[in-house]
Amino acid sequence: MNSLLLLLAVPLPPQSLEAIGPLIEERQVETRYGPVGPLARRGLPETPSVWIQPYYGLPSRTDPRATLQAAQQLHVSQIVACDSVVAVNPVLGPGHPLLITDYIDFTRHQPQTFYENEGTGGLSQTPAVCPRLTDALSHILPMAPGGVYLGVDGPRRETAAEARMFRSWGADVIGQNLVPEIALARELGLCFAGLGIVEDISAERSTPTAQADDSRGLEAVVLALSELSHSLDPNTPCNCGGRIDPGQADGPGSAESRPARQPRQ
């Protein structure tokens, strides 16, 4: 059965995950790129279960390809990643949630593809994020604007000059945990949606005095993730990756999450 994976790079208290459902199992997954986990599976008896992976992007983090390959091995078809972000758009302040509609890759030290030595000529152009999953989140989180996420390696913060440059490029927020995962997920034909929670404002803006709303965005996102997990049907095929085989797209375990070419195992 296909399922949903939540990659959580935000400081959620573990008890907040109870809203998704009780813990069913924990599993470590071995991949070609290293071990992943333990991932926790939670869910209510009458709803599809959800895999959850805490996901803080540090230079020492697991090879991001391992995470995506583990998702594939767990028969995940949809991923929602939630990241703590720095706002470069002046309308965003600490605690604000943001739906990621597109991204800019400014990482320089991350593996960018499963097809390292093969070129990418065979990959088709797909939307940056899954429109259906993003649309579902926008209905649950109507207060969250859409925005462009700019991925950096970290761990250092942006300089003021970089923040001005990123804003001039059209970025709304900066983060360290969704790129290249978002591209790797799309290579595997997995639906991917991203949520940001503004943790701080960028270096070229002055620090706001009031931070009273800080936790409200996080609480809204926790509720949204649990609502999403209870309302989604991961077995309904989505063709956003452009990889559905029309002859096999109408049942569980069909080809919708299979890439045109399998990455090397």
70 interacts with Zn ion by CB under 5 A: no
Closest to 181 measured CA to CA, from 206, 208, 149, 211: 149
Looking at 2-10, 63-71, 154-162, 185-193, which segment touches Zn ion (CB under 5 A)? 185-193
Tokens of 12: 């959620």
Q: Based on CB atoms, which residue is closest to Zn ion, 140 or 165?
A: 140
First to last CA, the chain: 21
Count of residues near Zn ion by CB under 5 A: 5
Q: How far is the CB of 126 from Zn ion (least distance, A)?
A: 9
> Which window, 4-12, 83-91, 220-228, 235-243, contacts Zn ion (CB under 5 A)?
235-243
Site for Zn ion contains 52 (CB under 5 A): no
Beta pairing class for 3-9 and 191-201: unpaired
Tell me which residue of 199, 190, 247 sits closest to 68, measured CA to CA.
Answer: 190
Structural tokens at position 1: 């059965």
CB of 193 to Zn ion, least distance (A): 8
Interaction of residue 244 with Zn ion, rule CB under 5 A: no
Angle between helices 131-140 and 214-231 (to 10 degrees): 120
75 HSE (CA, 13 A, CB side): 12
Q: Minimum distance between the CB of residue 2 and Zn ion, rounded to whole angstroms?
A: 12
Using the minimum distance from each CB to Zn ion, give the nearer residue, 130 or 152.
Answer: 130
Q: Is residue 130 near Zn ion by the rule CB under 5 A?
A: yes
128 lies in the binding site for Zn ion (CB under 5 A): no
Smallest gap from residue 237 Cβ to Zn ion (A)? 9
Question: Under the criterion CB under 5 A, does residue 185 sit at the interface with Zn ion?
Answer: no
Closer residue to Zn ion, CB minimum distance, 61 or 75? 75
Query: Does position 195 bind Zn ion by CB under 5 A?
Result: no
DSSP of 155-189: SSPPPHHHHHHHHHTT--EEESSSTTHHHHHHHTT
Return the structure tokens found at 103: 């991204």
DSSP H/E element including 34: strand 34-42
For CA atoms 17, 141, 152, 93, give the dihedral sign: negative
* For Zn ion, the closer CB: 99 or 218: 99
Q: Does 238 bind Zn ion (CB under 5 A)?
A: yes
Q: Can residue 240 be called a binding residue for Zn ion (CB under 5 A)?
A: yes
> Closest CB to Zn ion among 33 and 192?
192
- 193 counts as binding Zn ion under rule CB under 5 A: no
The residues that touch Zn ion, with contacts defined as CB under 5 A, are: 130, 132, 191, 238, 240
